[in-house]
Each structure stands twice: as C-alpha cells, then as structure tokens.
Structure 1
Amino acid sequence: MAVVTIPGSKSVTARALLLAAAAAGRTTLVDPLLSDDTEAFVDGLRALGYQVVADGREWTIDGRAAGPGASRAEVFCRDGATTARFLPALAAAGRGTFAFDASDQMRARPMAPLTRALRSLGAGLTFQGEPEHHPFVVEARGIEGGTIRLDAGTSSQFLTALLLVAPLSRDGLTIEVTDLVSVPYVGITLAMMRDFGVDVEVDGGTYTVPAATYRAHRYQVEPDASSASYFFAAAALLGRTVEVPGLGRDALQGDLAFVRVLEQMGAEVRQTSTSTTVVGGRLQGVTVNMRDISDTMPTLAAIAPYAQGPTTIVDVANTRVKECDRLEACAGNLRRLGVEVDTGPDWIRIHPGTPNAGRVETFRDHRIAMAFSIAGLRTPGITLDDPTCVKKTFPTFHSVLAEVVQEIAREARLARNGEQFAAHLDTGSVGPE
C-alpha cells in the first residue's frame, strides 16, 4: 500500500487566511498550503496592512476586526481566484483606496456577481479595463450590511467572499442566493466561520450573518481533497491501494466525495475518522452528476477511457469558466489521444478505448496537468506542454507522484515474487525436505 502525504487544502488555507486577518488577535495556521495561489494571498494581505509570518509548517497572522490597516494598497492576485475574489471583499470592509489586478488568465474570469454586490454594500468600484473584471480600484468606506441578492451559479466563491466579510459589516448581512454551484465549498466556509466564533443562520437559500468579531486561535489545515483525487484515481486505474492520512470521513471538503464515484466504478473505498483508502478494481463506466465536485471532473475524465463502458459526466457547465474551459480541454486532449468523446453545454461523454501516446495541452491549468499525468501511468508517452503549472496548488506533485509509482511498482514486484514462491511450494520444489 502506498501512503501519500498531501499538502494542505488550498480552499481551507485561503479561508483560514482571511478569517485570521479579520479576527481580533493572533492566529496560527498549522500545515497550510504553500503554493503560488497562497503566496499571492499572503502577499495581498501584507499589502493591505496585515502582519503575516509564513514560515514552515506554522504561519501566524495578526488580525484586525476593523478591516485592513492600510489606507492605500496595490494587490496583484496572480492566477488565484480566491485571492482575486476574497481580498477585494475584505478591502471593502476597511477605509481607503485599494487597487487590484491579476494575470491575463484571471482577468478573463467572471467577477460581476461579487463586484455588483460590493457596490450595493457601499463600496465604490472603478474598472480600468473590461467592466466587472480585473483590474479595478475599490474605494472602501466600510460595509453597510442589510439584505442583498446574489447569483452564485458560476462560482460559490462569490457567496463565500461575502459570507467571510459579513461579520465586519455595521449591521450584519443577509444574502438571498438565487443560484448556487459547488455547494460543499460553502459548507467549508460555514464550518470554518463557526470554528472562528461566528454562526450563520441558513434558511434554504438565505444566509443571515450577524455583525460580530471572529476569534483568533490555532487552526489545523487538513490535506487538500482535490489534490488527493489524483492519487485515488491512480489506485483505481492501476488496481493498487493508496491511503491518504488526514482525510477521514468527517473531513470538511466536499471533493472527498470523488472516492464515491470511484466506488461506483468498481474500486473499494475504506474510510476511518483519520484516513481514506482506495483499492483499485476492474473499472466500469458510470453516469455521474459532478456539479458539487466539479474540480475533480478532469480527474474522472482522464481515467474514463480505461473503464469498461462509456462514462458520462453531467451538470458541469461551471467548469467552462475555470482557469480554462476545462470541459473542452478534457474533450480536446482525449480526442488528440485517440479517444472518442461527445460533449454538450454542460456534459461530456467519454467512450472506452486505448489512448495513444501524445502531448497534452494544459492551458496553464494545474488540474488538467495533474489529471492527465494519471492517464500517463497507463499510457507511456503521454507528455504535458507545461508541467510546471502545477505550482498553482501542488508544487511537488510530480515528485510525489513519482514516489507513489515507485512504491506501487515495488509492491507489485513483491506480489509477483510471492506468487512465484507459492507456486513453488505447491509443486514441492521449495521448502524443507
């Protein structure tokens, strides 16, 4: 069995950084993720006037319940969606002028539901390029509170950003959500807000947040379930066993439900309170709705050709507005590898087949790169045009995958040797006379 240590969750790290910044006092984060995205988030907090010491396994953040300490700042969000969406909301809770910009990739991603909400809460926004996109300037006068309506049908991050800063509002905030994707990510937000001392009242699609002060404390970041999906998929694809410690049955992250998809396909899943293990078997095609775990859609798409029978993934329109159009990226790469694929506006069907060797176009998307690296375990000669893009969330991915493959190969050799030894015993050719 290969035991894989997965870095801290990107989603949990980003939320914990903002909660710590908004809390009164010093918070220590244990085992946060160190990646390009979280470095951008830390740099942004520092620009906004927060003291952050990000060193080793424990990071400290000196929070301010009144919002950013700086009155002027320039924040470059790089490719990070959480940085680009959470920090402008935090800035709006302060007082001053805050300029935000991002990479070309992030500039193209939607922001309108959040920017419109911030304007309705009293912030002034001036766009310096395409309206409702980065770059823009926030003229912050504090968050008024009250009641707003929000469409979070393209990204749950719009709702999370507002929920996280709502306690800093003058009067509390009620958010009426008309559409919502990736619901489990909102569950992470609500659970972590409780951990930091603020309870949110939820009634259907209405979220009511009181004006309150977050409690600074020591917080453990759990491993990243989206990153773990690649190693669970490797176990399923190769018929081997992979265990991930730190992700048990009570983990916060909804993407751990990906193992249930593998279970439907024929893998065995074992969970304890502290770990999850996947044992590979003969894979069968499935039809599965991945609206709530859409970050793992590329993982399933990459291994689907090796299953018996077609695999259909539905209700994943939001994957078209991620770092790239992930649905089309998966379809195009699979076709280049010789796999038959059908697509629609919010679905993809992958037919069984034997992928050929070929070059995968990653579109600078870490999830495309990591997903198709797993396909390469079964098809020698699959290469990536940009293997370094994994630094966004998992800088050591390729070395960790190599270690897991070596362990799996070692166990396979031991198993073969054991089978040969047992055969010799059966024939009486080995053992005492």
Structure 2
Amino acid sequence: MSRIVNKASNRKVTVTIPGSKSVTHRAFIIAGLAKGESLILNPLDSEDTRVTAQALRDMGIEIPAVSKKMKIRGSGGRVFPESEEIYLKDSGTSMRFFTAIATLGSGEFYLTGSERLQQRPVGHLVEALKTLGADIRCRDGIYPPVVVKARGLRGGEVVVNVKESSQYLSALLLILPYAEKKSIIHLATPLASKPYVDITIDMMRKFDAEVEWLNNRTIEVSNLSRYAGRKYNVEGDCSSAAYFWAAAAILGAEVTTVNVTSDTRQGDFGLLDILEDMGCRVIKRDNSVVVTGGELRGIDVDMNLLPDQVPTLAIVASFAEGTTSIRNVAHLRIKESDRLSAVASELKKTGIKVEEKDDGLVIYGGQPSGAEIETYNDHRIAMAFAVMGLKTGNMKILNPSCVRKSFPNFWDLIENFYS
C-alpha cells in the first residue's frame, strides 16, 4: 500500500493538534497507579497509547477504551498478571515503562513485542531494577522479551546509564513512589532527551508525588507521597505540530497550529527556535502557534534535546541555502528504525546530498524531487517525507498507515493544504 503526496495548493492553513502521545502514556500510567479516580481529558487515541491502555488492563487495572474523556480508577500501586503475555507491539515507551511497573506486582510477568521492539535495548533499565531489588531478566541481558518474578520493589540507591534513552529514567521515576523505601537515582552518563524526563517529573508532582533533583546527576523520590487521582488535561502534541511548522517553512506558507501551548515542557517546541534561526517567522500565543516560511538558510545544531525532530529538520534543511549539520543524536539508531540511516537513504533518493555521521547528519540544501519513500514502518519517516511532498509533488509514501502509531489523523489534516 502507498500514498502519493502532491504539491500543496493552499498557502494559509489552520490545524488543530491532537493530544500529546508522551503525556498520554504517562497520564494513563500515573492515573492507573493512583489512589482514587482520575479524569483524563483529550488523551491521544493512537496505536501506541492503546497499547499502554491494554497493558494496564493486563496488569489488573480498570481502564476504559481510549476516548476524549476517560475515568480511570487507580489501583493504589497494586498490579498483577491478568494474562500470560503482555504484548506491546512496536511501542518502545510501553516496553520500558511496563518493564518497571511489573516489578511492583505479585506474580510472574512476561513482556514482549514485535520483531523490531525485540531489537530495542532495555538492558540498562533491567540492571537498575535488579539493584532496586527486582527479580528480572531479559534476552542476552540487553533486549526484550522481559521476565519479571514480582514481589514488590525495595527501592534505595541506584546508578543508571541513560545515554541510550531517557525512558530508562522516566520508567524508574514513575514507579518509585511505590517502593518500600525512599530512592535516590544517580545518573552514570549524560541524559539523552532530558525534556521527556521534565514531563515525567512535572506530571508526577501534579498527581502528588514528591520528586526532586538534588543536583544535575541525582534525583530523590519519596515513597511517602504516592499518586492521588485528579482531573488532568492532555496538552497538544508538539511532535505532531512540528510537521505543519516544517510545511510552513518549505512552502513559504502561513500555518497556524491550535492546541499548542507556549508554556509546554515538550522538547519539540524548541524546533520553533531553530526554524526562526533558519529564516521563518514565528508567533507564539497562549493556545496556538503561527509559523510563516521565509528564505531558508542552513544551520549547525545539537538536536539531543529534541531527537524526534531530526527527520523533520532534515526535510527543511533539504530546501535551505547552504549546509545543515545535525549533531549529538546517536541514540536515533535504536528508535522504530535506525533513523539516521533511514533519513540519509531516503533523502538521497530525492536528489539531496547527505553525509551520515556516527551521531548525526550533514545535509546540503538543494532542489529535491519526488521519489518512492521506504518508511521502515517508522511513523516519523513517513510524516517527514509527506511534508517534503507538499513542496516537490509526486512523493510516493510506502506503508502510509504506519502513522497510526502516533498521529492517526495525520493524513486528514494534510488535506488542509489542498482545500
């Protein structure tokens, strides 16, 4: 199956952005573990968030079908295996988070997923959980499947390697209010994608947990203040909005994204500053952002804080004057695809010169043309090159349905560029 993206005809577009996938995952989990009832508003309904909802059910937590308004009755931190296998499909976030959640329970949990998910590492997280008292193992000490013989978690002090993924740290943080004693996490390495951890901590606090940075490498989590149910509104997804910001940049269009707040902790909001540096005009309002494209110029940028936007930025860079260097994102090689390799390979098909580095890309701006794009079953590759197609036309996107992982109505919103 494929989809052809033709040149855009509309240069003034407004789209409403759906709820954040990252926030939705965390909202479901925290509400599911909390004491009492929570009301979750505007969660994202996508393949990945449905995986998280089902995994909670598989651990004995009552959670309704994903909808715009969800009442979740929390378990008070109690989980147990309701099924022989917890199948997490392609969701790396779910695998990391539920590997940790399982250690709070009683009984044996078996967590697995797709072939690609079983190639994405969890070893550093598993080792940290062992230190905290878990009986846990994974394939070759590195990869899923994961087996947990749960009997609760002791807690205490732990050192964790977070160079590969911030999700290792977020996974530990989410469960440690339910450990038997106070916990202190020491970071053995620089933290990849820190804004995702900022989101985790902010949400934990809003549900009454106590968590504090003691210094830039140490976090303390209390076991005396646990989650309490509450009403929580899921903000719009900056990762999704970014495709429309990029479209404005390359088309010279004016695009307004609604349901994006300027006080967000989402790292991908930072793409707006990068686009301004490249020549776009950006207006940030209370609940929307307006981006207007301009004469684009290349940039040298460290993308460690917003790695999911590397494919999107690569598309913008392809139309910019000069060279764009993208650095410090080696961990993109263990996402849904090897994203550095995937972006480089597919850009070359469009006629753009690109150099693949160990931790990034160097892109030489030019005049790309339409091509047949392999998406590697990676939603972010599909959406990024769809945006390129709005400028080049004749862009054939293979496996377009892979966008359901994070942005099910992406193709519907793209139609706004033709109406």
**TM-score using structure 1 length:** 0.91
Deviations 1:77-129 (A, max 9, x none): 000111111112111111111111111111100101111111222221244x4
CA distance in 2 between partners of 1:109 and 1:126 (Å): 15
- Counterpart of 1:300 (choices 309, 313, 326) is 313
| Matched position secondary structure for 1:123 | coil
Matches within 5 A, 1:233-244: 233-244=246-257
CA distance in 1 between partners of 2:222 and 2:318 (Å): 49
Deviations 1:393-425 (A, max 9, x none): 01111111112x025xxxxxxxxxxxxxxxxxx
RCO comparison, higher one (Cα < 8 Å, 6+): 2
Unaligned runs of 5+ residues in structure 1 are 408-433
Partner of 1:339: 352
Partner of 1:159: 169
Q: Is the counterpart of residue 110 in structure 1 residue 121 in structure 2?
A: yes
- Counterpart of 1:93 (choices 101, 104, 107) is 104
CA distance in 1 between partners of 2:141 and 2:226 (Å): 33
**Deviation for aligned residue 1:55:** 4.5
Q: Is the counterpart of residue 265 in structure 1 residue 278 in structure 2?
A: yes
Matched letter for residue 184 of structure 2: T
Over alpha carbons, which structure has the higher Rg? 1
The number of residue pairs the alignment matches comes to 405
Matches within 5 A, 1:15-414: 15-70=26-81, 73-127=84-138, 129-179=139-189, 180-202=191-213, 203-211=215-223, 212-403=225-416, 405-407=417-419
CA distance in 1 between partners of 2:322 and 2:48 (Å): 37
Deviations 1:222-263 (A, max 9, x none): 111111100000011111111122212201211111111111
Matched letter for residue 51 of structure 2: A
Matched letter for residue 393 of structure 1: S
The question of whether the paired residues in 2 share the 8 Å contact of 1:124 and 1:139 is answered with yes
Structure 1 runs (4+) greater than 4 angstroms displaced: 69-73
CA distance in 1 between partners of 2:82 and 2:272 (Å): 46
Matched letter for residue 207 of structure 1: I
CA distance in 2 between partners of 1:139 and 1:172 (Å): 22
The question of whether the paired residues in 1 share the 8 Å contact of 2:106 and 2:151 is answered with yes
CA distance in 1 between partners of 2:70 and 2:262 (Å): 27
CA distance in 1 between partners of 2:91 and 2:69 (Å): 22
**Deviation for aligned residue 1:149:** 0.2
Partner of 2:9: none
The question of whether the paired residues in 1 share the 8 Å contact of 2:121 and 2:144 is answered with no
**Deviation for aligned residue 1:30:** 0.4
CA distance in 2 between partners of 1:73 and 1:145 (Å): 26
Change in Cα spacing, 1:110 to 1:303, as seen in structure 2 (3 Å) is same
Change in Cα spacing, 1:66 to 1:303, as seen in structure 2 (3 Å) is closer
CA distance in 2 between partners of 1:199 and 1:245 (Å): 32
| Matched position secondary structure for 2:148 | strand
CA distance in 1 between partners of 2:260 and 2:335 (Å): 25
Change in Cα spacing, 1:73 to 1:215, as seen in structure 2 (3 Å) is farther
**Deviation for aligned residue 1:209:** 0.3
The question of whether the paired residues in 1 share the 8 Å contact of 2:45 and 2:66 is answered with no
Deviations 1:260-286 (A, max 9, x none): 111110001111222211111111111
Matched letter for residue 270 of structure 1: I
**Deviation for aligned residue 1:215:** 1.3
CA distance in 2 between partners of 1:145 and 1:335 (Å): 49
| Matched position secondary structure for 1:376 | helix
Change in Cα spacing, 1:368 to 1:55, as seen in structure 2 (3 Å) is closer
> Which is worse superposed, 239-248 or 253-262?
239-248
Deviations 1:148-204 (A, max 9, x none): 001111100000000010101010211001221001111101111111111311021
The question of whether the paired residues in 1 share the 8 Å contact of 2:36 and 2:74 is answered with yes
**Deviation for aligned residue 1:73:** 4.6
CA distance in 1 between partners of 2:35 and 2:125 (Å): 25
**Deviation for aligned residue 1:69:** 4.5
CA distance in 2 between partners of 1:254 and 1:130 (Å): 33
CA distance in 2 between partners of 1:387 and 1:326 (Å): 17
The question of whether the paired residues in 2 share the 8 Å contact of 1:72 and 1:97 is answered with no
**Deviation for aligned residue 1:357:** 2.1
**Deviation for aligned residue 1:387:** 0.7
> Which is worse superposed, 56-65 or 17-26?
56-65
> Which is worse superposed, 267-276 or 151-160?
267-276
| Matched position secondary structure for 2:143 | coil
Matched letter for residue 199 of structure 1: E
The question of whether the paired residues in 2 share the 8 Å contact of 1:105 and 1:323 is answered with yes
The question of whether the paired residues in 2 share the 8 Å contact of 1:42 and 1:52 is answered with yes
The question of whether the paired residues in 2 share the 8 Å contact of 1:71 and 1:97 is answered with no
The question of whether the paired residues in 2 share the 8 Å contact of 1:74 and 1:100 is answered with yes
